[in-house]
Structure 1
Amino acid sequence: MTDSSVAAEPPKKKSAVMLTAIAVVALTLVGGGGGWVVGKLIAPAPAKPEAESHAAPAGEHGAPAGGEHGAGAVSHVKQLEPIIANLAYPSDSLVRLEISLIFGENVDEAVAGTVQEDILAYMRTVSLQQIQGPRGFSYLRDDLKERAKLRSQGKVADLVFRTFVIE
C-alpha cells in the first residue's frame, strides 16, 4: 500500500498545479473579455476625421466651413505679455506670470491691456506668505480671476496660468 500511495501523490500535485494554471488563464481571459465588452459599451466610437473633411465644404485656408476646427475655437483666448513685478514683502522677491485670458465672446484688446495692468498692480500688493503653497496659489488664481471679470465687466470668462515663477 505504501508503494501505491507514494506513486499516486506526484501526479496529484502535478495535476493540481496544472488545474490552478488553467483556472488562472481562464479567469484572465474572462476578465479581459468582460473589460473589452464594457469598454465598447461605455466608450463611443471614434469619429472618422477623413469622412467629415470630405463631406464638409472647405472654408478659408482649407478648414471646414463654420470654423468648427479652425480659428473660431481659439479666437476667444488672448495670451498676455509676461508680467514681472516685485512682491510687497519681501520687496526683493520678484514674480513672473504668463497668463492667458479666455473671453466669453470675441477678444477685446483694450480690455486685455486693462486687465494686464490691473494684475500687475495687484501683484505688487501681495506678500510671499499669501501665495505660498497650493492653497495660496488657488486663492491667488481666484482673486485674479475675480478681478479680471470685474475689470472687464464680465467679458473675461476665465484666466489660465501658463507660468508662475517666484525668485
Structure 2
Amino acid sequence: MSLTTTEPAAPKKPSIVVTAGAIAVLSLLGLGGGWFVGNTLLVPASPAAATPVPAPAELAAAAVEGAHGAPAAGGEHGAAGAAAPSLIALDPIVTNLGYPTDKWIRLELALQFTGPGDTSLAQDLHQEMLTYLRTVSLQQLQGPRGFQYLRDDLREIVDLRSKGRVSKVLFRTFVIE
C-alpha cells in the first residue's frame, strides 16, 4: 500500500494578458483625465492664443494723426480758447517677460493728454512701462482678467507719473510671442 500525498494547489497567478489590459485601461483613463483638466482649466500659452486688441477705425486714424504730438481729429481751439486734447502714439514697446524669459511682448500704446501733448513726459512714461513689463510673468497676462490687470497697472503708472495730465491710455496692439 502506498500512501500518496497530494499537495494543495498553489494559488494561480494572474496571466500577463490580464495585467497588461489593466495597465492599458488605467493609462487611458489617466490620459483622458489629464486632457480634460488641461483643456478646461488652463489657458493655452501658444503665440496663436495671443489676442491682439483691435482699435476702432476712428481711433486708428486719430492715433496716426496725433503721432507726432499734433492735436487729434478736430484739434482746433474750443470756444473758451483751451487746447483740445492731443493724442501721442508711443514707440512700440518690445521686451522679454520676467518669466519665462524666452517669451516676448510687443505693445503699442497711445496717450491722450488733457491739454497739449508733452513728448518728454510721453518718453518718460514709455520707459516706466517698459521697465514694468520686464517684471511681468506670462501667467499674469493670460486670459481676459490678465489683460484687464495689465491695463489697470499701466493706467496706474501713467496716473502717478503724469499727475492727471494724461486722460487715457489707448492700446493699439498687444502681442505675446
With the shorter chain as reference, the TM-score category is 0.5 to 0.7
Describe the superposition over 1:11-48 as per-residue Cα deviations: whole angstroms up to 9, x where unpaired: xxxxxxxxxxxxxxxxxxxxxxxxxxxxxxxxxxxxxx
Residue type of the partner of 1:145? R
The one of 144, 148, 157 equivalent to 2:158 is 148
Q: Which residue of 1 aligns with 2:76?
A: 72
Q: CA RMSD in A?
A: 2.1
Query: 1:163 and 2:167 equivalent?
Result: no
TM-score (norm 1): 0.57
Distance 1:116 1:100 in 2: 10
Structure with greater helix percent? 1
Could you tell me which runs of 5 or more consecutive residues in structure 2 were left unpaired when the two chains were aligned: 1-70, 78-83
Q: Which residue of 2 aligns with 1:84?
A: 94
Distance 1:117 1:72 in 2: 30
Residue type of the partner of 2:135? T
Could you tell me which runs of 5 or more consecutive residues in structure 1 were left unpaired when the two chains were aligned: 1-66
Consecutive aligned runs of 4 or more in structure 1 exceeding 6 Å deviation: none
Distance 2:159 2:76 in 1: 22
Residue type of the partner of 1:70? G
Identity of aligned residues (%): 50
Deviation at 1:151, TM superposition (A): 1.1
Change (3 A) 1:132 1:72: farther
* Structure 1 segment 20-35 matched on structure 2, within 5 A: none
2:99·2:138 contact (CA, 8 Å) conserved in 1?
A: yes
Deviation at 1:75, TM superposition (A): 5.1
